[in-house]
Amino acid sequence: MHTLYDSDSFCVNHMLANAPEMAPREADAGHASDRELAPAIPAMPRHGFEIIDKRSGKEIYLDGSWAEMFQQQIMAWQATTPTQEEVEDTLEGYASLAHTPVVMH
């Protein structure tokens, strides 16, 4: 997880797909004790963005096509260097979809 933006009103985190986990693999099918660890490659690695509205205490998680659209917005911001007001106006639009309360665990 990488924090991309943090202000008094919003926090944006980039959630990266999990690194390959190590799963047992049979070195020799005839001997169960002869196991070695090999990366377990996920079928479809995914990433997403978590947008937290600190004012309302709610968050939204963007993945799939929503994450792709948000990634395009981030790349546009990198090219144009927007003001904080412009960034927060865009985040407000996404945060208006947020219904999940932020829960400490």
Q: In whole angstroms, what is the distance from residue 95 CA to residue 19 CA? A: 28
Whether residue 3 lies inside any domain: the answer is: yes
One-character DSSP codes across 28-95: STT-TT-EEEEEE--SS---EEEEEETTTTEEEEEEHHHHHHHHHHHHHHHHH---HHHHHHHHHHHH
- pLDDT tens-digit readout, 8-41: 999 999 988 764 554 444 444 555 554 555 555 5
Look at the chain and report how many structural domains it folds into: 1
Tell me what the pLDDT averaged over the chain comes to. Answer: 80
pTM value is: 0.70
Q: Which of 13-17, 57-61, 67-71, 74-78 has the lowest mean pLDDT?
A: 13-17
Whether residue 41 lies inside any domain: the answer is: no
Q: In whole angstroms, what is the distance from residue 59 CA to residue 73 CA? A: 18
Whether residue 27 lies inside any domain: the answer is: no
Characterize the bridge pairing of strands 48-53 and 21-26.
Answer: unpaired
Q: Whole domain around residue 1: which residue ranges? A: 1-15+46-105
